[in-house]
Structure 1
């Protein structure tokens, strides 16, 4: 059982960041405006593979860039670490794809359960929370012990595309997964089970409905659905909001020390807007007892669109933040 980190607002003056903890979720604010809520005690149905998630995520200018429980995939939760094929277990939600069954409800939806926050640090460039979690099978058996850290940091943002923006911040995310199941676990995806271009599983973001049809960009160029399964150190997505008619950009940056880096990206625009790290996209990775797996990413949330120069500058700032994040 966890104890709320604080029942009162704590703040970091230089970065103008603060947080509140209500006992089920942390809410982070920049300059007094909420920008990120991290629900660590979800109340989701078991079929949705309950797990902590970020939603809503909002730009510094106030535009929401996530959706949670969309009707087409109710197990999509804003931004979350989620894996569909963890040995026989599903920590993604919904039906499981295997070679033997294709998509089927296999009564194997596990849960990532918050244990405690082992600390919160406001002494650096942002606010960093450290968390312990236990992954259990649908029957309640322990599968994985996870040590997780995440940090919110404001970024230097030299705007070059002519947009009127309010800047950018990054969520730095680190997970260390240890096998406690008593057996070797092979982590894969529907693609490793035979379904073409369905290698989802990792740190996954689902965007608002209005972002459908938006565009991707990496250091080599811009496009849409052809970014599915590509490899690059970073990839950005820009979409447009209803009502305000403004644009926002989400960029994923992978730490170069990740196993297999640069790994593939799961990227869709035409069906709905989503982007995710996919280190198990096309090859299974073994998780053995005594040999934890660690993955680190930065997710940038920026007001406005990006041209090649601004996208690279934001990616560089996020990579620098990852390097300096102890």
Structure 2
């Protein structure tokens, strides 16, 4: 998996010098079934106001249709698929303005940066990466991010992303959101996927609800977003992740996130990891609810039950 190599490979092992190639290119290509399905920019050149961070873009279906957007005009800090948090004890790792209680969205000089440190594993079907979350040169959080591409069938593959965040400071930190700072319903922050805008808003639904208003803020085991050209089925990969509400936008712009701090701040005690895993099926064409449910069932088989994590 490098910026130049996009051909088939066994699940495997990186060729000699491939790590150096990826480092030099600043990006790596993720393949599934021998086809390139995503580009990972691990050292992007972005303005400080956009809270620079690694991201996946473009992500494509097996048929080649793009399912991510990068720096769209409506929200230039939306970066394909990324892990973005608007408030870590006052530091903005989301980008753009910060919601301040009593003032609303406010321009502040409080943006952080996620800096790639090293690959722990690097292969054509996935990787594990070490990332430092910094503010003014000081590391607040250490992240281990694991990403894998898993083939489901000839028209569908799954992006499996796990983030493990650890407070490296001496004092307790916490994750907040515009909602915890006074903006109802805006509990975004964590895993976030920005799809492209189509000719009309995509459909969004879960097993039990349909439409943006009904699914936004729900803690459903899976959620689907479907357009005429593609369908994304998102599922929490751990019991703790499945308790996090979904942040959903469809009418204004398409976006889906798994929220870390929906109603209350999430504490980050020193040295105690917070782990979340989201597995997303990427399918060509429009799936109806029955087909999406079957796909979600296949995602569940990729993530068998495990011992419950810590309460964070």
Secondary structure of 2:304 counterpart: helix
The corresponding residue for 1:243 is none
Maintained 8 Å contact 1:134/1:145: yes
Maintained 8 Å contact 1:190/1:199: yes
The corresponding residue for 2:156 is 168
Of 21-30 and 71-80, more deviation after overlay is shown by 21-30
Secondary structure of 1:106 counterpart: coil
Of 203-212 and 286-295, more deviation after overlay is shown by 203-212
| Structure 1 position 98, deviation (Å) | 2.2
Maintained 8 Å contact 2:31/2:149: no
Q: Distance in 2 between matches of 1:231 and 1:211?
A: 29
Q: 2:76 aligns with which of 69, 74, 77?
A: 74
The corresponding residue for 1:160 is none
The corresponding residue for 1:231 is 219
Q: 2:39 aligns with which of 22, 37, 40?
A: 37
Residue ranges of structure 1 left out of the alignment (5+ in a row): 157-165, 241-246
Maintained 8 Å contact 1:214/1:224: no
| Structure 1 position 211, deviation (Å) | 6.2
Maintained 8 Å contact 1:212/1:273: no
Alignment pair present for 1:316 and 2:285:
no
TM-score by length of 2: 0.88
Maintained 8 Å contact 1:91/1:109: yes
The corresponding residue for 1:297 is 278
Of 39-48 and 93-102, more deviation after overlay is shown by 93-102
| Structure 1 position 212, deviation (Å) | 4.6
Q: 1:271 aligns with which of 252, 275, 282?
A: 252
Distance 1:167 1:5, change over 3 A: closer
The corresponding residue for 1:144 is 141
> Deviations along 1:187-245, whole A, 9 cap, x unmatched?
111001110111111111111121652111211143233321111011010023xxxxx
> Deviations along 1:250-281, whole A, 9 cap, x unmatched?
1110023326x321111011101111111211
Alignment pair present for 1:133 and 2:121:
no
| Structure 1 position 30, deviation (Å) | 3.8
- Following superposition of structure 1 onto structure 2, how do residues 206-285 of structure 1 map, counting pairs within 5 Å? 206-210=194-198, 212-240=200-228, 247-258=229-240, 261-285=242-266
Maintained 8 Å contact 2:172/2:270: yes
Q: Distance in 2 between matches of 1:13 and 1:100?
A: 55
Q: Distance in 2 between matches of 1:101 and 1:149?
A: 37
TM-score by length of 1: 0.85
Maintained 8 Å contact 1:114/1:134: yes
Q: Distance in 2 between matches of 1:104 and 1:43?
A: 24
> Deviations along 1:67-108, whole A, 9 cap, x unmatched?
100111110001111000111101000111121542111111
The corresponding residue for 1:244 is none
Distance 1:6 1:205, change over 3 A: closer
Of 200-209 and 26-35, more deviation after overlay is shown by 26-35
Alignment pair present for 1:306 and 2:294:
no
Residue ranges of structure 2 left out of the alignment (5+ in a row): 307-312
Maintained 8 Å contact 2:205/2:211: yes
The corresponding residue for 1:99 is 101
Distance 1:258 1:117, change over 3 A: same
The corresponding residue for 1:83 is 85
